[in-house]
Structure formats: C-alpha cells, structure tokens
Amino acid sequence: MSDFLAAIEDSGIATWIRESPSVLAYTLILSVHVIGLALIIGMSTVIALRLLGYVQELPLAPLKRAFPILYVAFWCNAISGLLLFAAETSKMVSFPVFWIKMAFIAGGILVMRALRNLVFDDAVLAGAAAGAVPAIGRKLAYASLVCWLCALVAGRLTSYPELLSNSPGFQ
C-alpha cells in the first residue's frame, strides 16, 4: 500500500501541483476546491435553515432545484480534492484529522441524498401542506449542519499538521 501511495505522490501531476510556480497548479486547484466548498456548505445551510423553520417565507419546493448544483459542486470538490491529496499523499494519510474530514464529508453526502429522496421527493412536496416540513426533514437538517461544519473545520485543520501534532489527543 505504501508503494501505491508513494507512486501517487511521485507522479508527474502531483509533482507539478506541489512544485509548479504557475497559478494554474496548486492555486487554481485550491480555488476550485474552495468555490465548490462554498457552494455545498452555503446551499446546504440555506436548505437546512429553511427546514428548521428559520426562513419560512422561502418556499420549500423551489429549493429542490439546488440539488443538481450541489452535486456539481461536490464533483468539483472531489476532483480538486483528489488532486490536492495526490500532492501531499503521505502527509494526509497519516493525519487523523484528514480521515475525520472524510468521514464528515461522507456523512454530509449521505444526508444530502436522504434530504433529496425523503424531503424533496415530488410526492412528499405535493403532500406537504403550505410548505410544511416532514419530521425527518428537521433531523436531517441538523445532521447536515453538523456534518458540513465539522468537515469544514477538519479540512482547515489539515493545513496545520505541525500545530496539531504538538496537541495531546492528535498524536
């Protein structure tokens, strides 16, 4: 397994991302990653707040149109994240916060799919009286907020391995 990870980190694309002075390398890839992240977290937060009743004047049904954008943003993040991972494979695989981030991202995606299927299904929306939210919607909204907030914080912490390596509990 370590040979495989070393091969990823030593690949031409990973070396280019890590060492190139071009803004098309690390800077552009990181920018795409941040834009995708902003879309996912921003739109998920709006959906969650609506489901929790904080923005009741916002109709529920039109929010269904956000899901294709969320999926595109996720795939932009997945591709840019894989490229960033390739550039620092050995650092990331040995860093527990990276795996915590991945777990919360997986949770966020599962919650997003559950919201799409259980709350924003056409039959559920048609049956919801005046924008009422199904009971599962509130639970999924809380789960969405927790998953994306924790993924965001853990993602930021992956940039500071030296800081966390000196903290008890992260060794």
84, exposed or middle or buried, with CB in 10 Å at 0-12, 13-18, 19+?
A: buried
pTM of the model: 0.86
Cα separation, 142 vs 48, in Å, equals 7
Tokens of 44: 């998920």
Note the pLDDT of residue 36: 96
Nearest CA to 158 among 106, 72, 111, 100?
100
Supply the mean pLDDT for the chain.
Answer: 88
Q: 25 with 16: CB under 8 angstroms?
A: yes
Using one digit for the tens of pLDDT, what is the confidence trace for 90-125?
Answer: 888 888 999 999 999 999 999 999 999 998 887 676
Residue 94 has phi, psi (to 5 degrees) of: -95, 5
The greatest distance separating any two alpha carbons of the chain, rounded to the nearest whole angstrom, comes to 58
Tokens of 133: 């939210």
List CB contacts of 16: < 8 A, sequence separation 6 or more: 25
Q: 166: pLDDT confidence band, cut at 50, 70 and 90?
A: low
